[in-house]
Amino acid sequence: EAQVTQNPRYLITVTGKKLTVTCSQNMNHEYMSWYRQDPGLGLRQIYYSMNVEVTDKGDVPEGYKVSRKEKRNFPLILESPSPNQTSLYFCASSLSGRGAGGYTFGSGTRLTVV
């Protein structure tokens, strides 16, 4: 089944403890991106990647890092999480970055930083 898989689905962590949220897609998509969704603010793009080793900032990149060493994986790294990074996170992938097939989204990772 074609899908974007995020892990974990739920995560509670403490301030300052480094964490990684994994994202993997099995569709050979070139474009991948990370979003956070917050009440009242909607869905905002954190980082995106156009291909292996090519990444760029989205609208809210502060406090996050990403890497794209393989085409299928695009992990989101929080080096020193803070409570304001408590949010619902989504990974998404697309074959071409703009196409009739749109972006396929993962099921989300609900992160709580205490």
Partner 1 sequence: SQELEQSPQSLIVQEGKNLTINCTSSKTLYGLYWYKQKYGEGLIFLMMLQKGGEEKSHEKITAKLDEKKQQSSLHITASQPSHAGIYLCGADRGSTLGRLYFGRGTQLTVWP
| Shortest Å, Cβ 108 to partner 1 | 6
Give the ranges where 3-49 is alpha helix by DSSP (H).
none
The minimum distance between CB 80 and partner 1, in angstroms, equals 26
Give dist(CA 81, CA 17) in Å, integer.
Answer: 6
- The contact set with partner 1 (CB under 8 A) reads 4, 31, 33, 40-45, 48-50, 56, 58-59, 88, 90, 92, 94, 96-108, 110
What are the structure tokens assigned to 97, written together? 């970055």
Query: What residues form DSSP beta bridges with 7?
Result: 22
> Least distance to partner 1 from the beta carbon of 83, Å?
20
